[in-house]
């Protein structure tokens, strides 16, 4: 009998990640020290209610995290937000969701690159700006090129450093509380004399920046051993653990540095608090940790962005030959990683930090709203799962997510909304071109 020739299989992402890997990945991209850079800003915006701002922000995050878990169980794909909206709402809605999320994923590593470059330039002003940007981008890109396991190991190490910083900050802050004063002071969380609901909502919109990126866990669905169970659990755990970090840090910082005492510099207020609780050594340690956090966040966000691009390229929404390519040896979307590296490098040179910050939330919350709507469409209407606990999981919770996310989204700055809508408009034009004036269904592009 003639031996049949072996059929070579196309390269695929490898299912090697555990639930713990996913939690570490999620915490790394949002960083356990995310409260550090925004603490002073939140204290000022909320009139002394930074910790309460984080608690308000996490409501939107947890509701949306539940929706990501539901959709990951239904469609365990690297396409994440793009796949969920496409398969549940409409092909074009999927594209808009993916396009909006691209704005977020592209900007997170870019933000990190800009921050590291500016900081390094201050430490060594004689070194040209572009050298630091190139060095940072090269390190992040090379780590991701070696595969998701290498990325996971690097993420684990850096997350341990950041977690140690957060734990040390809490310990030193507790020790710095004046003798005779209680650790449980209502005014550090809620002060009726200065509380303002509009101010709290506005500050909660900024506080969500400390959680953005948790959804990137879902982009690793095709790298995960048991995505149907682990993606949802890991996403919720990431939000819960991050809440503990952010609330503890901001609450204790408010005890050490009361709202009535002005900060020398609002944007670096946490470093002043660090000096107050641990002197110069704590100041230097937390400064270094902020740099580590930027590198860690950029590594993980680049990994998530490259897989989103891969998912869209595989479906031919983006050029398949480039974005849909998977390296057969390392099972990584190398071309998408290179693309992200180039984009990050360019952003570090030409985009201002403030502009990037203003745009991050726009793309994220646009996608969050669509993911929550996807749960309602897929489970409540299509599968008709409407009784008992399913009524809460498939309608009440995601509808609450839509409501809260929309409220935060509407409270974003005018500049962010203007540029964000321009980005969505550019995406609509691109979609019109590839679908020949919306005449070719997206699903046909996969086989063209």
Find the radius of gyration of the CA atoms of the chain. 22
Q: What six digits make up the tokens of 47?
A: 């009139």
With a CB cutoff of 8 Å and minimum separation 6, the contacts of 327 are 11, 333, 334
pLDDT of residue 392: 93
Q: What six digits make up the tokens of 192?
A: 């009726």
Q: What six digits make up the tokens of 16?
A: 């090697």
Q: Helix, strand or coil for residue 325?
A: coil
> Do 194 and 47 form a contact (C-beta atoms < 8 A)?
yes
Q: Can you tell me the distance from the alpha carbon of 231 to that of 379, in angstroms, rounded to the nearest whole number? A: 18
**Domain residue limits, the chain:** 19-445
Q: Which of 203-217, 346-360, 399-413 has the largest mean confidence? A: 399-413
Q: Can you tell me the distance from the alpha carbon of 438 to that of 245, in angstroms, rounded to the nearest whole number? A: 46
pLDDT tens digit sequence for 35-49: 887 888 888 888 888
Query: Between these two residues, 81 and 8, which has the higher pLDDT value?
Result: 81
* Helices vs. strands in the chain: H and E counts, helices first: 18, 0
pLDDT tens digit sequence for 78-119: 667 878 888 899 888 888 887 887 777 777 778 778 777 776
Half-sphere exposure of 246 (CA within 13 A, CB side): 34
Tell which CATH classification among 3.40.50.720, 3.30.1490.100, 3.20.20.70, 1.20.1740.10 matches the domain 19-445.
Answer: 1.20.1740.10
User: Mean pLDDT, to the nearest integer, of 24-34?
Assistant: 81
- In DSSP terms, 17 is beta-bridged to 224
H helix intervals, 318-394: 320-323, 334-350, 353-375, 389-391
Rounded to 10 degrees, the C-alpha dihedral 112/113/116/121 comes to: -150
pLDDT tens digit sequence for 214-256: 777 777 777 777 777 788 788 888 888 999 999 999 999 988 8
Query: Between these two residues, 290 and 61, which has the higher pLDDT value?
Result: 61
């Amino acid at each position: 009998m003639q031996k049949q020739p072996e059929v070579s299989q196309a390269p695929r992402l490898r299912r090697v990640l555990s639930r713990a890997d996913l939690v570490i990945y999620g915490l790394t991209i949002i960083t356990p020290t995310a409260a550090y850079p925004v603490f002073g800003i939140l204290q000022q915006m909320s009139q002394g209610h930074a910790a309460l701002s984080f608690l308000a922000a996490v409501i939107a995050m947890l509701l949306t995290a539940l929706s990501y878990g539901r959709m990951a169980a239904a469609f365990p794909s690297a396409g994440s937000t793009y796949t969920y909206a496409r398969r549940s709402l409409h092909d074009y809605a999927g594209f808009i969701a993916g396009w909006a999320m691209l704005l977020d994923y592209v900007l997170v590593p870019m933000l990190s690159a800009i921050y590291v470059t500016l900081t390094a330039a201050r430490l060594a002003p004689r070194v040209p700006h572009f050298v630091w940007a190139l060095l940072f981008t090269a390190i992040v890109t090379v780590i991701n090129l070696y595969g998701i396991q290498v990325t996971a190991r690097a993420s684990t190490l850096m997350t341990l450093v950041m977690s140690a910083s957060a734990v040390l900050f809490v310990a030193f802050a507790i020790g710095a509380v004046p003798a005779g004063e209680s650790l449980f002071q209502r005014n550090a969380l809620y002060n009726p004399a200065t509380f303002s609901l509009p101010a709290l909502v506005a500050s909660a919109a900024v506080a969500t920046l400390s959680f953005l990126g948790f959804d990137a866990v879902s982009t690793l669905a095709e790298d995960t051993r048991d995505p149907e169970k682990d993606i949802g659990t890991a996403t919720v755990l990431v939000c819960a653990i991050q809440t503990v970090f952010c609330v503890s840090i901001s609450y204790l910082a408010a005890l050490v540095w009361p709202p009535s005492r002005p900060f020398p510099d609002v944007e670096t207020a946490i470093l002043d608090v660090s000096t107050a609780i641990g002197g110069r050594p704590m100041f230097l340690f937390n400064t270094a940790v902020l740099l580590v956090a930027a590198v860690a966040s950029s590594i993980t966000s680049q990994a998530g962005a490259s897989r989103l691009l891969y998912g869209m390229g595989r479906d031919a929404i983006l050029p398949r030959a480039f974005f849909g390519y998977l390296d057969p040896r390392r099972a990584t979307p190398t071309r998408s990683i290179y693309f992200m590296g180039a984009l990050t490098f360019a952003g570090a040179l030409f985009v201002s930090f403030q502009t990037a910050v203003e745009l991050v939330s726009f793309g994220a919350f646009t996608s969050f709203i669509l993911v929550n709507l996807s749960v309602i469409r897929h489970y409540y209407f299509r599968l008709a799962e409407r009784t008992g606990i399913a009524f809460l999981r498939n309608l009440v919770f995601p509808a609450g997510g839509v409501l809260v996310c929309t409220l935060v989204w509407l409270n974003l700055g005018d500049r962010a909304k203007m540029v964000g809508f321009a980005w969505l408009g550019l995406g609509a034009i691109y979609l019109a071109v590839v679908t020949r004036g919306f005449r070719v269904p997206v699903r046909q592009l996969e086989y063209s």
